[in-house]
């Protein structure tokens, strides 16, 4: 194979002519600025995964109610939790497999195939006519789209080392925005016959399938992204890895210092023995459980009646709150987070935000006592701050995971992360829905009555996550063989 050698101050980098990964590395070497095209690619693909996950939250309560499977109103949240968990259960079963496939055949093929499955099963979910059909479609949607693990690896590989924080914060921002825009779409577009009778007449197709429109809009978006992904640059190398990868060379040239600089592990080391990777994944799982439960609880709590401790919001009200939150997240992730991460380091920054989220979350039951404009103002501020704190933690953990492995193991490493995270996220919605149902049945309890209990238990999970972000549990560095630099 023809080979081009370019001299470097410390080591030589080898760029293979027919290797897509080498083309990307060469482009990174020659161009120091950040490509907006690469940022847009990450945004589009991640949105294809996160929008279907979250779009059902505002209307899931009403959808389950329409299935007539719950005997009492208090049981609706429990059944809704099972629908939310089905996706994560499916993703937990297959994420490692998709990661291995991405390491073998490339990130791009997995992305395109995953988006195609999103189009199919997200559309079918919108056509669900029974509780079990909805559960099965969500399970298949989760198990057959392997987008997130490979894209997390891709987000760190497509940029130079000094811009990896921006790449992963873009991934995290897109994920967070999808979890916000998705519910906004669901809130605005579900039950269109009731909301927009002049556009959607009664007894029409839209009346028979009142929750299809948001799924259809997301599937159309995914179809456009699937076409655009044909031109997605591939970052995987298709030649035997040398003893020093391109990323190793950059790390050696730059040196490593401080608590938040992470060395790369030895080639072909067992990922399960890589404690910097595994410890960050464990903390990530705790926060994934917390975040999934929070997202489920927030939407169900917001639309629950006042007599049960909720806000009596409509789907439009929930959509408004989450849309404002989404806009705020975009501004924060693309303007403030990279500089703050550079100043404080991802771990220290995540610890602080984890602590701050605890009193904020426990204030939610007191917010429910407000009304009118004051309620809308305060719940919007609380939602914005809570999601900013969460996305800060998640992005920091993304950085730890991707800096702990070499490229040829990064897909598998992210597959492990997605598998374990999905298990916890499968527990989150079901557990959150069940605990919310239980808390709404104990409104007169003497200890943490009503919804005080559900937010307290969410804080227990968040508090455990904060504790695990400290040493000796969270390992920040991995020693590599010493290299003499002259």
pLDDT, one tens digit for every residue, the chain (486 residues): 444 444 444 445 667 777 776 777 777 676 655 577 888 888 899 999 889 988 887 788 888 888 888 777 767 777 887 887 888 888 888 888 888 898 888 888 999 999 999 999 999 999 999 999 999 999 999 999 888 878 888 887 787 766 666 777 778 778 767 877 787 788 889 989 988 989 898 888 999 999 999 999 999 999 999 999 998 888 777 666 554 444 443 432 333 333 344 343 444 568 888 888 888 899 988 988 888 888 878 888 888 888 888 888 887 788 788 778 878 887 887 778 778 877 888 788 889 999 999 999 999 999 989 988 999 999 999 999 998 898 888 888 878 887 788 767 777 887 888 788 878 877 877 788 788 888 888 888 888 888 888 899 999 999 999 999 988 888 765 444 333 333
What confidence score (pLDDT) does residue 268 get? 54
Burial 390-411 (b: 16+ CB within 10 A, else e): bbbbbbbbbbbbbbbbbbbbbb
Residue 5: beta bridge partners? Answer: 14
Cβ distance 299 to 383 under 8 Å?
no
Q: For 170-217, how does the pLDDT look when each residue is reduced to its tens digit (9 = 90+)?
A: 787 787 678 777 877 888 899 899 889 898 988 889 999 999 999 999
List phi, psi (to 5°) of 15: -105, 115
Q: For 287-306, how does the pLDDT look when each residue is reduced to its tens digit (9 = 90+)?
A: 888 888 888 788 888 888 88
Q: Is the peptide bond between 107 and the residue preceding it cis, with omega within 30 degrees of 0?
A: no
| Both tokens assigned to 121 | 């099963």
Parallel, antiparallel or unpaired: strands 3-6 and 13-16: antiparallel
Angle at 146 between CA 218 and CA 167, to 5 degrees: 80
The conformational region for residue 445 under phi > 0 = left, psi -120 to 50 = alpha, else beta, is beta
SS3 380: helix
What confidence score (pLDDT) does residue 159 get? 76
C-alpha 480: how far from its chain's center?
31
Angle at 146 between CA 145 and CA 147, to 5 degrees: 100
Q: Say how far apart CA 262 and CA 280 lie, in whole Å.
A: 12
Cβ distance 117 to 141 under 8 Å?
yes
Q: Which helix (H) or strand (E) holds 312?
A: none
SS3 75: helix
What confidence score (pLDDT) does residue 343 get? 82
- Cα dist from 201 to 191, 193, 197, 204, whole Å: 11, 6, 6, 6
What confidence score (pLDDT) does residue 476 get? 67
What is the overall mean pLDDT for the chain?
Answer: 80
Cβ distance 200 to 190 under 8 Å?
no
Residue 130: beta bridge partners? Answer: none
Q: Say how far apart CA 486 and CA 481 lie, in whole Å.
A: 16
SS3 203: coil
């Amino acid at each position: 194979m023809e080979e081009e050698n370019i001299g470097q101050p410390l080591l030589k980098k080898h760029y293979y002519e027919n290797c897509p990964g080498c083309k990307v590395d060469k482009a990174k070497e020659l161009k120091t600025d950040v490509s907006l095209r690469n940022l847009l690619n990450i945004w589009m693909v991640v949105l294809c995964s996160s929008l279907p996950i979250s779009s059902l939250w505002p209307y899931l309560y009403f959808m389950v109610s329409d299935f007539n499977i719950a005997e009492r109103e208090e049981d609706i949240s429990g059944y809704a939790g099972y629908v939310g968990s089905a996706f994560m259960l499916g993703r937990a079963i297959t994420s490692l497999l998709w990661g291995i496939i991405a390491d073998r055949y490339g990130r791009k093929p997995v992305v395109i195939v995953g988006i195609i499955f999103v189009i199919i099963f997200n559309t079918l979910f919108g056509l669900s006519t029974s509780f079990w059909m909805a559960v099965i479609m969500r399970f298949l949607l989760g198990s057959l789209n392997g987008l997130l693990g490979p894209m997390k690896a891709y987000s760190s590989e497509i940029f130079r080392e000094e811009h990896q924080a921006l790449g992963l914060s873009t991934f995290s921002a897109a994920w967070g925005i999808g979890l916000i825009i998705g519910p906004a779409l669901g809130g605005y577009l579900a039950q269109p016959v009731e909301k927009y009778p002049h556009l959607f007449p009664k007894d029409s197709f839209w009346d028979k399938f009142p929750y299809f429109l948001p799924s259809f809009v997301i599937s159309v978006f995914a179809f456009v992204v699937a076409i655009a992904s044909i031109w997605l640059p591939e970052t995987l190398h298709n030649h035997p890895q040398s003893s020093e990868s391109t990323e190793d060379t950059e790390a050696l040239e730059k040196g490593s210092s401080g608590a938040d600089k992470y060395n790369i592990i030895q080639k072909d080391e067992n990922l399960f023995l890589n404690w910097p990777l595994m410890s960050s994944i464990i903390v990530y799982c705790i926060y994934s459980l917390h975040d999934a439960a929070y997202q489920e609880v927030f939407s169900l709590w917001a639309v629950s009646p006042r007599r049960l401790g909720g806000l009596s919001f409509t789907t439009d009200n929930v959509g408004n709150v989450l849309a404002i939150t989404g806009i705020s997240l975009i501004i924060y992730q693309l303007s403030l987070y990279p500089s703050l991460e550079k100043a404080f380091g991802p771990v220290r920054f995540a610890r602080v935000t984890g602590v701050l989220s605890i009193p904020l979350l426990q204030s939610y039951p007191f917010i429910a006592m407000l009304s009118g404009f004051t309620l809308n103002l305060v719940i919007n501020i609380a939602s914005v701050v809570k999601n900013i704190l969460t996305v800060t933690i998640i992005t920091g953990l993304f950085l730890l995971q991707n800096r702990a492995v070499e490229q040829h193991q990064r897909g598998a490493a992210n597959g492990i992360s997605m598998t374990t995270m999905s298990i916890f996220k499968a527990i989150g919605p079901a557990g959150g829905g069940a605990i919310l149902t239980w808390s709404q049945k104990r409104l007169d309890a003497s200890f943490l009555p009503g919804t005080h209990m559900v937010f307290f238990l969410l804080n227990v999970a968040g508090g455990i996550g904060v504790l695990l972000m400290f040493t000796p549990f969270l390992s920040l560095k991995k020693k590599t063989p010493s290299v003499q630099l002259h």
